[in-house]
Amino acid sequence: MNFHLFLLLISLFSFQTHAIFFNIQNNCPYTVWAAALPGGGRRLDRGQTWTTTLTPDHHLAKIWGRTNCTFDNSGRGRCLTGDCNGQLQCTTYGSPPHTLAEYGLNTFSHRDYYDVSVLEGFNVPIEFTPITNGCTRPVRCAADITGQCPSQLRTPGGCHNPCTVYKTTEYCCHSGTCRPTNLSRFFKARCRDAFTFPEDDPTSTFTCPAGTNYRVVTFEEFQIWGMNWKDRLEGTFHHKVLRI
């Protein structure tokens, strides 16, 4: 059966007012709950768009998706993955697992820094692409990580980072220099661009000139046989074949 992960399209662009807008659109066949810090959160049914605005001065920000959420009229509830303290409007970072698009605008040496990270685990595929200033290097993690997740990292709706599970220096790099592990290599083999463990910076952090605009595509479409989208969101695992 064809399985469509939801598409969350975020376009960053800067006007003469120096405001940067994030346009977040859900193009997939089920409801998703986008989250951003700064920005908050929003329920997005299929085809809906959420626009957030911020100034470009030294913002360190994160964007992620939440799945299988239920909220009451006051915005209190919970999500299966990416939950931010039970709030629809996120004021704290999400709980693992969730895939992250991260960036810093106009930071060191007037450069933007951006990456896709699985340090909080994986719940949906992400692509992060600069689109101006001659800076066009996309960063993506679009493999079926959840379906192929090692048994010790599996959790409903996603795949944990080993640091979340074991909390040891080997996986979390609490002090000094640490090296890749077999479990971090699982992520790296499938998502070469992704930030997979804390010392992954040299190969997984990318830069552009300050003022660059970006497009973040999360929850890309790919096809899986043997699982429907409800099973996927609820963390039910079956044998499957992946096509991207």
Say what the pLDDT of residue 19 is.
61
54-110 pLDDT per residue, tens? 676 657 889 888 989 999 999 999 999 999 999 999 999 999 999 998 988 888 888
Mean of the per-residue pLDDT values for the chain?
79
With cut-offs at 50, 70 and 90, classify the pLDDT of residue 235: very low
* pLDDT for res 224: 37
pLDDT of residue 18: 59
- State the Cα–Cα distance between residues 159 and 121, nearest whole angstrom: 6
Q: Is the pLDDT of residue 41 over 80?
A: yes
State the pLDDT at residue 58: 57
Question: 162-197: per-residue pLDDT in tens?
Answer: 999 999 999 999 887 889 999 999 999 999 999 999
Note the pLDDT of residue 28: 66
pLDDT at residue 210 in the model? 84
Question: Residue 217's beta-bridge partner residues?
Answer: 9, 127
- Is residue 242 within 8 A of residue 226, CB to CB? The reply is no
Q: Kindly report, residue by residue over 121-133, the tens digit of the pLDDT.
A: 998 888 888 888 8
> How far apart, in whole angstroms, are the C-alpha atoms of residue 129 and residue 152?
32
pLDDT, residue 240, reads: 26
Residue 2 has pLDDT above 90, yes or no: no
Between CA 32 and CA 43 the distance in angstroms is 6
Residue 9 confidence (pLDDT): 41
Confidence of residue 217 (pLDDT cuts 50, 70, 90): low
Q: Which CATH architecture has domain 8-243?
A: Sandwich (2.60)
- In this structure, are residues 150 and 189 in contact, taking their beta carbons and an 8 Å threshold? no
Beta bridge partners of 34: 42, 65
